[in-house]
Amino acid sequence: GESVGLHLPTLSVQEGDNSIINCAYSNSASDYFIWYKQESGKGPQFIIDIRSNMDKRQGQRVTVLLNKTVKHLSLQIAATQPGDSAVYFCAEGYGSSNTGKLIFGQGTTLQVKP
């Protein structure tokens, strides 16, 4: 069935290092992918998205890579800061803006050590 999963449940990095969070998906029909950040006690917050016709997209300190051949998605965070500590979710989506839906992965906890 459809599923989106993450390779590691917890990632611990040193402040200032780069972080890489990975995600595997199984639905080849998904046409966009999104990364969300969820801080403790808050709702998920949109970080960056990528469409299936792209393999890389960059934002502010974040880069998302998409490898459709192996159905793999990653989020790279440059110069990780304590404020980056959160749970990160990947989600795959399909359908229009009115009827489409997101399927979320399990989540990876990112811990930033000072």
Partner 1 sequence: DTAVSQTPKYLVTQMGNDKSIKCEQNLGHDTMYWYKQDSKKFLKIMFSYNNKELIINETVPNRFSPKSPDKAHLNLHINSLELGDSAVYFCASREDRETQYFGPGTRLLVL
Asked if 110 interacts with partner 1 (CB under 8 A), we say: no
Footprint (CB under 8 A) of partner 1, residues 55-94: 87, 89, 93
Residue 55 near residue 66 (C-beta atoms within 8 A): yes
Nearer to partner 1, 6 or 77 (CB): 6
Asked if 43 interacts with partner 1 (CB under 8 A), we say: yes
Phi, psi (5° rounding) for residue 107? 105, 140
Q: How far is the CB of 70 from partner 1 (least distance, A)?
A: 22
Nearer to partner 1, 17 or 39 (CB): 39
DSSP states along 11-52: EEEETTS-EEEEEEE--TT--EEEEEEE-TTS--EEEEEEET
Tell me the pairing of strands 10-14 and 108-113.
Answer: parallel
SS3 82: helix
Q: How far is the CB of 43 from partner 1 (least distance, A)?
A: 3
Residues touching partner 1, count (CB under 8 A): 26
Binding residues vs partner 1 (CB under 8 A):
32, 34, 38, 41-46, 49, 51, 87, 89, 93, 95-104, 106-107
